[in-house]
Amino acid sequence: MGNFSLIDHTVLIFIDEFSANYARNGGRCSQVGHALEKFSDHNLAARLMTADDRKS
């Protein structure tokens, strides 16, 4: 096993709500990096990332 980060659905729900509110007030958010594994096809499904995935 390597150095992994699990991003659970509650974090993704928070980010989704934050970015929607931020955009309504003139801000802009963008996704950086990609998940090594997504646990379902749902947009807010938990994800597994490595340190290298977070840099791309």
Q: CB 47: neighbour CB atoms within 10 A?
A: 20
> Which tens digit of pLDDT belongs to each residue from 2-45?
566 888 889 889 999 999 999 999 999 987 777 677 888 888 88
Q: So what's the pLDDT on residue 1?
A: 46
Q: Is residue 35 classed exposed, middle or buried when 0-12, 13-18 and 19+ CB atoms within 10 A define those classes?
A: middle
pTM above 0.95, yes or no: no
Residue type, 44: L
**Inter-residue contact 31 to 18 (CB < 8 Å):** no
Q: So what's the pLDDT on residue 40?
A: 86
DSSP per residue, 9-54? HHHHHHHHHHHHHHHHTT------S--SEESSSSTT--EEEEHHHH
